[in-house]
Amino acid sequence: MESAHKATIVITTYNSDKFIVDCLNNLLADESLEQPEIIVIDNNSTDKTPDLLKGYRGDITVIYNKRNIGYGRACNQGFRKSRYPFILFMNPDAFPQQGVIRNLIRFMRRNPGTGAASCRLLNPDRSIQYSCREYLRPSFLVMRALEKYSARAAHFLNKQYLMAGHDHTVNKSVPWLTGAFVMVRRDSFEAMGGFDEGYFLYCEDADLCLRLNMAGWTVDYAAEAGDAVHVHQRRSRLKPLSRETFIHAASIARFFFKNSPYISASGHPTPGHEDTGITLRYPAPTRYPSRPTNVPDVG
């Protein structure tokens, strides 16, 4: 199989000993993947994760960081080690069905304008996990604060922000996809300068998708690719006053400060605005770079 039909899988771990063995075994058992390149970036785990990863020598590449450098930065680190035209960023608690990764590669090869894509994500009980979303707006934050106390607020949040009304059995171009399981095209990811490393955790996925959309790439929910189960442990919701909560809040603030000029009141990108002036860790021209217009249809 030629390299154009292959993908590099990048997994970032941090105290992931509950999932990483099952995650890797699931990937290595996928017979539809020929010699998959799997790169694991461990962000200085203090549990059994480093020891468990040593059992996969020869099957995967592992980079052990001496400190937790954050999710986006670790993903960029894995990207720089990757070889193939498509890169799948996934969490260690994501478990794709056999054939899903192959199907995502086929989808992206068939759609050369797609910069990022994901399959349908399911919760462990096999219900739909709302992984394609509208861009964050102040109204969504208000509704999130009220959702535990108001059924109307929860309904608004699910229908508008989480796109619960979207038919999750069909393909659709969307504003953004959660980074728990998302495949990118090497050319598009490089053109964007990768994930913005100014986000330690959270919102780096929304930020990347916004930049892709503004540059003319599509971000696609590819339901046809199949399903992946995602355990989806949101630490910031499990522990409201935890460190993760404050990190989440800081990431949301960064997203608004950096990108609000680019998002209209309807929540859609509005190309043509000048840069906000915030210091970014990826190359930031006055206008985001555009998708090449002469991209061949590789079929």
The domain ranges of the chain are 3-262
**Dihedral sign from CA coordinates of 21, 24, 27, 31:** negative
Bridge partners (DSSP) of residue 88 are 9, 183
Superfamily of segment(s) 3-262? Spore Coat Polysaccharide Biosynthesis Protein SpsA; Chain A (3.90.550.10)
Lowest pLDDT segment from 137-151, 156-170, 257-271: 137-151
Cα separation values, 39 from 45, 59, 64, 197, Å: 16, 10, 11, 19
Name every residue whose Cβ is closer than 8 Å to that of residue 190 and which is 6 or more positions away in sequence: none
The pTM (predicted TM-score) of the whole model is: 0.82
Share of the chain above pLDDT 70, in %: 75
Mean pLDDT of 61-75: 96
The pLDDT, as a whole number, for residue 285 is 32
Decide: 116 and 183 in contact? Cβ < 8 Å: yes
pLDDT digits (tens, 9 = 90+) for 173-224: 999 899 999 999 999 999 999 999 988 888 899 999 999 999 999 999 999 9
The pLDDT, as a whole number, for residue 283 is 34
Mean pLDDT of 269-276: 40
H/E element, 133: strand 132-133
The pLDDT, as a whole number, for residue 271 is 44
Would the pLDDT of 268 be above 80? no
Nearest CA-CA partner of 198 in 73, 11, 66: 73
Cα separation values, 105 from 59, 87, 129, 169, 171, Å: 21, 9, 22, 19, 15
